[in-house]
Amino acid sequence: MKRFIETLKNIYKIEDLRIRIGTTLFFILIYRLGSFVSLPGVDPAQLQNLKNQTSDGLLGLIDMFSGGAFSQASIFALGIMPYISASIVIQLLGIAVPYFQRLQKEGESGRRKINQITRYLTVIILVFQSPAYLTNLHYQLPDSAFALKGAMFTVSSVIILTAGSMFVMWLGERITDKGIGNGISLIIMIGIIARLPQSVVQEFASRISQQGGGLVMFLIEFVILFLVFMASILLVQGTRRIPVQYAKRIVGNKQYGGVRQYIPLKVNAAGVMPIIFAQAIMMVPITIVGVANSENLSGVAAALSNITGFWYNFVQFFLVVAFTYFYTAITINPTQMAEDMKKNGGFIPGVKPGKKTVEFLDTIMSRITLPGSIFLGLITILPAFAMLMGINQSFAYFYGGTSLLILVGVVLDTLQQIESHLLMRHYDGLTKSGRIKGRAGGGI
């Protein structure tokens, strides 16, 4: 406790860190307040049918990612997922389309142009999703719930929903630039955390109402949740260290190199992005047919919208594994790593510099990514098994990658950035060792 208080004092002493944390909290507060602002012309007191619709199924998952804004008919109802979907499309185009490949190689200017194209695509997606959401509102709510009707309500609401999601995206970018941590991930995490207290209360109430052993089952559920939580931390922090020997060089009267260091290769270098991407794609069926028709789906659309069904979880597992490899490939470049080692007089013992080093690093990454991706996929589909065992759906989400791994990854990543600020100014870190392994790297 004493160390924790001392750390808080150190954080307060660093003006830049203090401002960044304050800025982050301010933007998060704006996001949470906006989640409770209903669309103009909609009576908030008559939203019960919409809340019932989003209490389970895939719409419940959409509502969780939006922090409850979806069921509140909020101006932020569509949340950040359209931006995530646009990002997926642009990154996939970066593999297949030469124009986007050139932009990726142009450095900062190319990145700005890609971000601009992503925003335009987000607006296009929102223009299609907003009318679908409004159709669902008319389907779920009585006519008395709408003070505005007709084209006036539709046009104004489409503009507001589109502007609301773009504003949420802007908040995320401002958090990344001016605050602490990854803004988009933090917004998703805050939406998930907002649902946790309600989910725990609902699960506790349902277990208490059972005859015989309800409380014991509730405690067992928390023990299992703790074990999954620890497994998630191990997955996020797991590394394989590759030794690098640096040749001894003498320049003037000074000696350089002659030491051995280690490259920490992450078991899960992609972090939580494969899960977020997979979830965005799994929401496509409902987006295409419209949320108003979600209860009347059949065939492939129904199979891919049943979150406890085999095909939904099989496809989601496959997508998580595939996106883990994809994201690892664009995050870690063995060719660049080999070139950097060669420039600095370094080599991996027993491996020739150049092409052999690239092949060695690529093989190691493939080997450690495979079990990491499979484990990530299994954790992602754990909520389905929890639901089949009778656990309340909203609470079951916290058993897997849908929420728990996102929470673990984002929290560790944010704490790592805070610790970096502390250590850079010669203050003690957040832990005794002074090393928190986040998604972006790990301690050596």
354-385, pLDDT tens digit by residue? Answer: 888 888 888 888 888 888 888 888 888 888 88
Q: Do domains 11-180 and 198-444 have the same CATH topology?
A: yes
Task: Compute φ and ψ for 36, nearest 5 degrees.
Answer: -105, 5
What per-residue confidence (pLDDT) applies to 297? 58
What per-residue confidence (pLDDT) applies to 169? 92
Q: For residue 263, how far is the Cα from the chain centroid?
A: 25
The class that CATH gives domain 11-180 is: mainly alpha
**Structure confidence by residue, pLDDT tens digits, 306-329:** 778 888 888 889 988 988 888 888
Q: What is the pTM of this model?
A: 0.76
CATH architecture of 198-444: Orthogonal Bundle (1.10)
- Model confidence at 170: pLDDT above 80: yes
**Structure confidence by residue, pLDDT tens digits, 380-422:** 888 888 888 878 777 787 776 667 777 777 887 888 888 877 7
Confidence of residue 123 (pLDDT cuts 50, 70, 90): very high
347 DSSP β-pair partners: 245
What per-residue confidence (pLDDT) applies to 146? 85
What per-residue confidence (pLDDT) applies to 440? 46
- Cα 90–337–235 angle (5° rounding)? 70
Q: Report, as an integer, the average pLDDT of 252-263.
A: 62
Instruction: Look at residues 290, 256, 282 and name the one whose alpha carbon lies nearest to residue 81.
Output: 282
State the Cα–Cα distance between residues 360 and 268, nearest whole angstrom: 18
- Model confidence at 151: pLDDT above 90: no
**Structure confidence by residue, pLDDT tens digits, 8-33:** 777 777 788 888 888 999 999 999 99
- Model confidence at 433: pLDDT above 60: no
- Model confidence at 54: pLDDT above 60: yes
Sheet holding 260-266, edge to edge: 260-266, 239-246, 346-347
Enclosing H/E stretch for 347? strand 346-347
What per-residue confidence (pLDDT) applies to 30? 93
For residue 45, what are its two tokens?
């007191």
Q: What whole-number percentage of the chain has pLDDT above 70? A: 84
Positive or negative: CA dihedral 49, 51, 55, 60: positive
Q: For residue 126, how far is the Cα from the chain centroid?
A: 20
Q: For residue 417, how far is the Cα from the chain centroid?
A: 17
- Model confidence at 286: pLDDT above 70: no
Q: What is the DSSP letter of 390?
A: T
Domain residue limits, the chain: 11-180, 198-444
- Mean pLDDT taken over the chain: 79
Could you tell me which residues come within 8 angstroms of residue 299 by beta carbon, excluding any fewer than 6 positions away? none
- Model confidence at 444: pLDDT above 60: no
What per-residue confidence (pLDDT) applies to 167? 94
Q: Report, as an integer, the average pLDDT of 148-175.
A: 90
What per-residue confidence (pLDDT) applies to 161? 92
Give the strand pairing for 346-347 and 249-251.
unpaired
Q: Is 212 exposed, middle or buried (0-12, 13-18, 19+ CB in 10 A)?
A: exposed
Q: Report, as an integer, the average pLDDT of 272-284.
A: 78
State the Cα–Cα distance between residues 311 and 77, nearest whole angstrom: 28
State the Cα–Cα distance between residues 336 and 330, nearest whole angstrom: 12
CB-CB contact of 21 with 181 (8 Å): no
Describe the crossing of helices 310-331 and 355-388 by its angle, rounded to 10 degrees.
150
State the Cα–Cα distance between residues 273 and 292, nearest whole angstrom: 29
261 DSSP β-pair partners: 244
- Model confidence at 46: pLDDT above 90: no
